[in-house]
Amino acid sequence: MPNKIMCRMGDGERVWLPAEQIKEDILRGTRDAAERAKIPELTEEECERLFDIMADPSKVVSVSPGEEVIVTDDAVSMLFYADQENSGQGIPMSRTQSLLAYERACAADTISMGHTDYSFKQVKPIINYETQEYYNASQMTTAPFFYGSQPNMGLYFQPDGPYPNPAELLPQGKISEALEAQEIAMEHLSADLIYIGKEMNGVGCEGINFDTAASAGDADFKATLQAVEKLKALAPGMSIIVGMSSEFVMGMHGDITYKGKRLAGIYPHEQVKVVEEAGADIFGPAINVNTSESIPWNLARAVTFVKETVAVAGIPVHPNVGMGVCGVPMFEVPPVDAVTRASKSLVQIGKADGL
Amino acid sequence: MPTAHVMASAMGGIRTAGDLVAWMQMTRKMKIDEAKTYVADKLGVELIALTDEEIMRQVREDLDIGIITSVSGSAKGIAAKWKIAELLDIDINSVNHFRAKVGI
What DSSP string runs through chain B? -HHHHHHHHB--GGGTTHHHHHHHHHHH---HHHHHHHHHHHHT--GGGGG-HHHHHHHHHHHTS--SS--TTS--HHHHHHHHHHHHT---HHHHHHHHHHT-
Helix (H, G, I), strand (E, B) or coil at A94: coil
> How does residue B1 score in pLDDT terms, banded at 50, 70 and 90?
confident
Residues in chain A with CB shorter than 8 Å from the CB of B52 are 65
List the single residue in A with minimal CA-CA distance to B94: A204
CB contact under 8 A, A339 and B8: yes
List A258's β-bridge partners, or say none. A261
Distance (Å) from the alpha carbon of A178 to chain B's nearest alpha carbon: 38
Q: The complex's ipTM?
A: 0.97
CA atoms within 13 A on the CB side of B23: 25
Who among A235, A239, A321 is closest to B5 (CB)?
A321
* Residue A258 vs residues A239, A267, A317, B25: alpha-carbon distances, Å: 21, 15, 21, 25
pLDDT in tens, B37-62: 999 999 999 999 999 999 999 999 99
| A-chain residues near B2 (CB < 8 A) | 71, 73, 76, 79, 106, 108
| Contact of A329 with A296, CB cutoff 8 Å | no
Closest among A193, A177, A170 to A251, alpha carbons compared: A170
The pLDDT of residue A54 = 97
Contacts of A143 in chain B (CB under 8 A): 13-14, 18-19, 22
Return d(Cα A208, Cα A241) in angstroms, integer: 6
Q: Which of B93, B98, B102 to mutate to test the interface with A (most CBs of A within 10 A)?
A: B93
Instruction: State the count of interchain CB pairs (< 8 A) between A and B.
Output: 190
**CA-CA distance, A83 to A316, in Å (whole number)?**
32
Q: Mark yes or no for CB contact A204/B98 under 8 Å.
A: yes
Q: What is the maximum alpha-carbon separation in chain B?
A: 43
Q: Do A107 and B29 touch (CB under 8 A)?
A: no
Testing the interface with B: which of A109, A145, A344 to mutate, by most B Cβ within 10 A?
A: A109
Q: Give residue A15's region: left, alpha or beta (phi > 0; psi -120 to 50).
A: beta
pLDDT over 70 (residue B25) = yes
Name the closest residue on chain A to residue B18, using Cα atoms. Answer: A109
Amino acid at the residue A211: D
pTM above 0.95, yes or no: yes
Q: Which residues of A touch B70 (CB under 8 A)?
A: 104
| Residue A238, number of CB atoms within 10 A of its CB | 23
Measured CA to CA, the distance from residue A201 to residue A204 in angstroms comes to 5
CA–CA–CA angle A285, A291, A294 (5° rounding): 90
Work out the minimum CA distance from B11 to partner chain A, whole angstroms. 5
CA distance B94 to A206: 6
DSSP A289: -
Option in A66, A109, A344 nearest B18 (CB): A109
- For β-strands A261-262 and A257-258, DSSP reports them as antiparallel
Which residues of chain B does A66 touch, with a Cβ-Cβ cutoff of 8 Å?
Answer: 47-48, 51
CA distance A59 to chain B (A): 11
Looking at the predicted structure, is the pLDDT value of residue B71 above 70?
Answer: yes
pLDDT of A1: 58
- Nearest chain B Cα distance for residue A343, angstroms: 6
Q: Which of A152, A94, A95, A99 is nearest to A123 (CA)?
A: A152
**Does the CB of B38 have a partner CB in chain A at under 8 Å?**
no
Look at A107 and B15 and tell me if their CB atoms are within 8 Å.
yes
What is the CB neighbour count within 10 angstroms for residue B4? 21
Contact A281 B30 (CB under 8 A): no
pLDDT at B41: 98
Asked if B41 has any chain A CB less than 8 Å from its own CB, the reply is no
Give the pLDDT of chain A (355 residues) as one tens digit per residue: 568 999 999 999 999 999 999 999 999 999 999 999 999 999 999 999 999 999 999 999 999 999 999 999 998 899 899 988 888 889 999 999 999 999 999 999 999 999 989 999 999 999 999 999 999 999 999 999 999 999 999 999 999 999 999 999 999 999 999 999 999 999 999 999 999 999 999 999 999 999 999 999 999 999 999 999 999 999 999 999 999 999 999 999 999 999 999 999 999 999 999 999 999 999 999 999 999 999 999 999 999 999 999 999 999 999 999 999 999 999 999 999 999 999 999 999 999 999 9
Query: Would you give the distance in Å from CA A86 to the centre of its chain?
Result: 15
Provide the CA A11 distance to its chain's centre, in angstroms: 18
User: With DSSP H G I counted as helix, E B as strand and the rest as coil, what are the percentages for chain A, rounded to 5?
Assistant: 45, 15, 40
Q: Does B68 reach chain A within 8 Å, measured CB to CB?
A: yes
Residue of B nearest to A61 (CA): B8
